[in-house]
Amino acid sequence: MVKTKAKQLARQPHFTSLYLAINEYKWTQKLLEDLKSLKDAFLNNVLYY
């Protein structure tokens, strides 16, 4: 049931592009957070050793 609904929505181009944009935004946010924490960890290690 959910899959058919998703397929129907996916046929609407504006919905698909919106969905992809949201997904990409979330992914980018996560990547930025990961990079920030990596940078913080790196700086902490450099400063403390």
Q: Model confidence over 5-47: pLDDT tens digits?
A: 777 766 777 777 888 888 999 999 999 999 999 999 998 888 7
The domain tally of the chain equals 1
Q: Is residue 46 part of a domain?
A: yes
Could you tell me if 15 and 9 are in contact, meaning their C-beta atoms sit under 8 angstroms apart?
yes
pLDDT value, residue 26? 92
pTM score: 0.50
Q: Is residue 37 part of a domain?
A: yes
Q: Is residue 2 part of a domain?
A: no
pLDDT value, residue 29? 94
pLDDT value, residue 48? 67
| CA–CA dist 43, 32 (Å, integer) | 16
The range of the structural domain enclosing residue 40 comes to: 19-49
Q: Is residue 26 part of a domain?
A: yes
Residue 13 DSSP one-character state: H
Task: Give the chain's end-to-end CA distance (angstroms, integer).
Answer: 57
